[in-house]
Structure formats: C-alpha cells, structure tokens
Amino acid sequence: MNANQSKKKKTSPWSWIPSLYFAEGIPYTVVMVVSVVMYKMLGISNTDIALYTSLLYLPWVLKPLWSPIVDNLKTKRWWILVMQFVLGILFACIALTIPTSNFFRISIAFLWLMAFTSATHDIAADGFYMIGLNEGDQALFNGIRSAFYRVAMLMGQGVFVILVSVLINASGLDKVSLEVSAVNDGAGIIPVEMQNLEQERPGDMYLIYAPEKLDIPLKRVATVYADSLIAAARAWNIAQGQPDPNAAQIAKDKARKEKNKAVRPKHFENWLRTSFGVEDPVVTDYAGNLGIVYFSLSRPPEADKVVIVTFGQDKGDKSIKLVEGTRFEFTTENWNKPVMAVIQLDKKLQTPSQAFFDAESGNVRMAWTVLFFCLSGMFFIFWLAHRLTLPKVEVDRVERSALQAVKDFFSTFGSFFKKDGIGLAIVFLLLFRLGESQLVKLSAPFMLDTREMGGLGLTAGQYGLTYGTIGILFLTLGGILGGMAVAKHGLKKWIWWFAIMINVPDAVYIFLSYAQPSSLWVIIPSVAFETFGYGFGFTAYMMFMIYISRGEYKTSHYAICTAFMALGMMIPGMMSGWLQEIIGYQHFFIWVVIATIPGFILLKFLKIDPEFGRKIKEAD
C-alpha cells in the first residue's frame, strides 16, 4: 500500500460526499427549478418561463469546452472552493435585483452567471468523486450522492418555497375565505354599494370584501349578457388601476405581426390547436348564472409598496368557476377603488352545490429577496466547511506550455468521440429523459396554477410541503435503493427496471390534471410515487455516464456526458411551455408519457459490461 492510498483512507467519504453533492445540487435547483416557481409567483407567463429558464441549461451543455481547463489547471479541490465562494456572491447579487423594476431581465442575467459557475463546480466535484473513490465505492456511493443531489433539488421545491410562503404570509394581509353556493332560489346578481368599501378604516391594513357569502341562483342567463358582464368587469378593473391580464399576450401578438414572420411553424401550431388544444365551450343562447365579489383595502399601503392579492378556488365543485379577477395589485393610488371578481356557474349545473375561494396577499418580492440572501450565506458556510473536509487526493500539477495545453484539450475531446458505441450512447443520453425534460418545467406551474387554468391551485406553502417532506423522503429512498441495487448486481441487470421506474410514474400527472383533486391526501401520494421512481431510475443514468467516462480523461469525459444530458433537457424544455399553453395540461401530460417511449427502445441496443458497478469484496 503506497502513501497516497494510506492518505485517502484517513478521510471517510461520508465526511464530504453528502455535503459536496448537496452543495452541487443547490445552484442547479435554483437556476432550473426555484426560478420557475419564483417567476410564476411574480406573474411571468408559462411560455416565457419555460423558454428562458430552459436556455439556462446552455452552460451545462457547453461545459465540456472548459472542462479540460478544470482537468489540467490547479486541482479539482481548488476549483470547488473557488466556485462555492463565487456562488455565494452571485446569490447576493440576485437578491438585490428582485425588488427592481426590470427584475426579470437582470435576474436572468445573474442566473446565467450562476449557471456557468455551477457548471464549473459540477465538473470539479464529479472529477473529485471519481478520483477519490474506486469503482466499487463509486457504485455504492452513487445512490448516496444522487440522493443528496436530489434532496437539494427538492429542498428548492420544498423548504425554500415553504420559507417564501411563510415570509409572504407574515408580510401580507390575513387570508380571506369566501363560500360560494349555487342555490335553487334567489334574486340573481345583487349589486353591492361600492361606497361602503371605499372608506378608510383605522387599525391594521386588511382586505375588505363583499358580500361575505355569495349565493348564485341556479338559473340560466343569456350568453350575450354573461359575456358583456365579464367584459365590463375586466374593463372596470383596468379603469380602477389594475393591470390588463391580456396585455402581455396582446403585445406579443402585435410584435409577431410586425416582424411578419413566425418564430415557430404556424401551420404546425394551428394543427396542434385544432387537434389537441383546449376546446372552447360550445356557444349557445344561454350560459350559467354569475355572481360578483368586490375587493379593496382598509387603508393605503406604504409609499412605493404594492399589495398583490391572488384570488382562486381552494376546494369544492369545479362547476363553480372564477372567470375574471384572479390577481389584483393595490397601491396608494387605487387602494380604495373596488375591483370585481366574477364567478360563474356551469350552465349544466342543476343541483345545489358549493365551493370555497381564498384571497391571499403578501410581499412576494421581499420574501424571495430574503431567500436569496439566505442562500448566499449558506454557500459561504459550504466554502468554509469544505476547506476543512475535502481530502487532498490529487498530486501537484506539472507546469506545461500553452501549446501543450491546447494539444491536451483537443486530445481530450477526440478520445471521447473515439470510444466504442459512442454514437448510440449519445443518442441515449439525449432521449432517455425526453418526457421528464418537459415534465420538470411544467410541474411547478401546474401545481401553482389556479383550478380555472387547469392546475391544482396549491398555495406556495402547500406546494413546498408536498415536495419538501414526503417528496424528499421517497426520492432519497429511491436513490439509495438504486445505488445498492447496482452495487450488488451491476448496472446491466437492473437497467430495464430503472427505465420503468423513471418513466412510468410520470403518468400520475395525467390523473392529477383530469381529476384536479383538492385534497393533499391524494396529491402527496401521487408525488411520492413519482419522486421515488425518479430517484431509483436516475441512478442508472448517472452510472451509465460514469461507464462511458472510464479512461484517462474521466473528468472531462464525464463533463461531456453531462453536457449531452443538459442538451437533452434544454431543447424539449424550451418548447414545453409553448406546447402546454396550446394543448392544455391534460393533453400535455399525455404527450409527456408518450415521449418516454424512445428511451425504452434504445435500451435494447445498449451494450453494458455485466460486471460494471458491482461492489467486489477485496481480500484483506
């Protein structure tokens, strides 16, 4: 046993693998997942969210271009520590941009910098992992590192979002719950004296609403009357200083016409809308009856402050729908100008029923600002901790000329593409997660979107709790069991089961989109099943990348593999928001399941050493 081997044994992998891969997963989660939730809560459209956040995959696609630099300059331990320090600075920069008026553009720019920094950190961390462990230990700890990486991802969807929800609730007004009933008798729409809502009232600020309970008679009204009332309510809200909910789409349509060209094939888009788009209700001479709820504040907010109120169905009969007034913004200029929310019964509803609607508010931007400052502090702590725990397993680098460095760069790339079966392996990396690449971009918007928009209408806290508790537990369990399975029997024996477990559970979203359950007792088990399957199945994907990367330049080759993995996530993800807004959540999730088929087909042709990944017991 040489000195280097003796030195390696002094440091247990448990002292650095969990924290290193948790730290690796946090910035990726923020860039690719948490940003989606943040932009959704700040009113950005699904199309823009999916397009711009999917483009953030690009640094992970391009990272092989500078992976040889990480491989050959300094040590991977040095790169890990420097990147963690830089990430701490970038988190603070994003926190400072959120309150600004151009927060979307500025924050996207800083997220780009964070993505490049995080991708570099990934190169160094993955290379450090493969240098610090032998092949058997790599298989054994693969489930551990995968689990902690995924824990970081679900921390973003769970604990981070819960923290934001708590901060929003602490900074906002008390939640208002409104019972809406469809009743057999009544006088129809009863106008509320709006001047009663406009008076300033002493004490703490709170949301004023009327009526306190809304009863809508079960009778049909003329379609022209219903449409005109909805249009009048929207016009009234705009006149009261509320933003036009259709302004962004109108501007996009106008810009597209001015360019006189389509960014996407218009014939294909029209075919999608015609064949799979959400069907407009059949226009008849009659429609369901309507009711109106008015909102205003008890007193003006502080100067330059905006109170955002979201209104939507919490639970109850889906035949009672909110058709106008899902989001209101109150300032010192319009706090006392009542706004309208219009609720309509389905014209087919004939029996008494009820539903419950909630109005919530809070300082959303402040909550996200606090979160990013917390993340900044977290990464400075990681930087300090890993200076102490990361073992020094690498030998000193020999200084080389610039010409030799360039030669090594091209040699590293060339050797990867000369590997046996590399073409099929690349196609597999691109297509194995074709369904998941689209699902991951729309799962959060689906959970947070109102039931009227086809979503589940979860609050930020409910969404965070669902993914941050049960989701973490089951995904971690799946990752650990996957690693143990590979270590005992090898990757080849389990590859089909891994593929089944990572893809088939996506079908739970079809159920959720059609049933739209309001009970977390239904939603949480569905999410648990999907996350367990993903944790178990993703083990195969990571081990296959290690399998391809074996050889002299394993760090750079692994970076190239992860680049193809990112490319396979980026391109489908970019189009997912556009596709979902055309065909709706229900048809979109059906398409996600169909998109898993190519991955199964490719498994038939993969050639994997049956012994790869098995933990071989060595003699003492």
Mean pLDDT by 10 residues, the chain (620 residues): 46 78 90 85 77 82 77 82 94 92 88 92 83 64 74 78 82 83 69 57 81 87 87 89 68 50 57 64 71 89 81 81 86 88 86 87 85 94 89 61 64 80 88 84 80 76 72 77 80 83 88 87 88 82 83 77 82 80 86 89 83 55
Q: Say if residue 385 is in the same domain as residue 332.
A: no
Q: What pLDDT was estimated at residue 7? A: 44
Listed residue (328, 334, 333) closest to 308, CA to CA: 328
In a domain, 261, yes or no: no
Q: Cis (ω within 30 of 0) for the bond into 243?
A: no
Q: Say if residue 340 is in the same domain as residue 378.
A: no
412 close to 68: Cβ distance less than 8 angstroms:
yes
Q: Say if residue 209 is in the same domain as residue 158.
A: no
Q: Say if residue 165 is in the same domain as residue 178.
A: no
- Looking at the DSSP bridge assignments, the partners of residue 177 are 358
Looking at residue 159, the DSSP 8-state letter turns out to be I
Q: Say if residue 465 is in the same domain as residue 567.
A: yes
Q: Say if residue 208 is in the same domain as residue 340.
A: yes
Residue 269, number of CB atoms within 10 A of its CB: 16
Last residue of a domain, one of 342, 362, 382: 362
Last residue of a domain, one of 328, 362, 396: 362
Q: Cis (ω within 30 of 0) for the bond into 211?
A: yes
Q: Say if residue 577 is in the same domain as residue 438.
A: yes
SS3 at position 582: helix
In a domain, 618, yes or no: no
In a domain, 519, yes or no: yes
- The answer to whether the Cα torsion of 378, 379, 380, 383 is positive or negative is positive
In a domain, 251, yes or no: no
Q: Say if residue 149 is in the same domain as residue 188.
A: no
In a domain, 217, yes or no: yes
Q: What pLDDT was estimated at residue 8? A: 45
In a domain, 378, yes or no: yes
Q: Say if residue 392 is in the same domain as residue 282.
A: no
Q: Say if residue 543 is in the same domain as residue 435.
A: yes
The rounded distance, in Å, linking the Cα atoms of 300 and 45 is 29
CATH number at residue 371: 1.20.1250.20
Tell me the residue range of the domain where 177 lies. Answer: 173-246+273-362
Q: What pLDDT was estimated at residue 495? A: 83
In a domain, 575, yes or no: yes
Last residue of a domain, one of 306, 336, 362: 362
Q: Say if residue 461 is in the same domain as residue 563.
A: yes
Q: What pLDDT was estimated at residue 11? A: 66
| Domain count for the chain | 2
In a domain, 268, yes or no: no
Q: Say if residue 79 is in the same domain as residue 218.
A: no
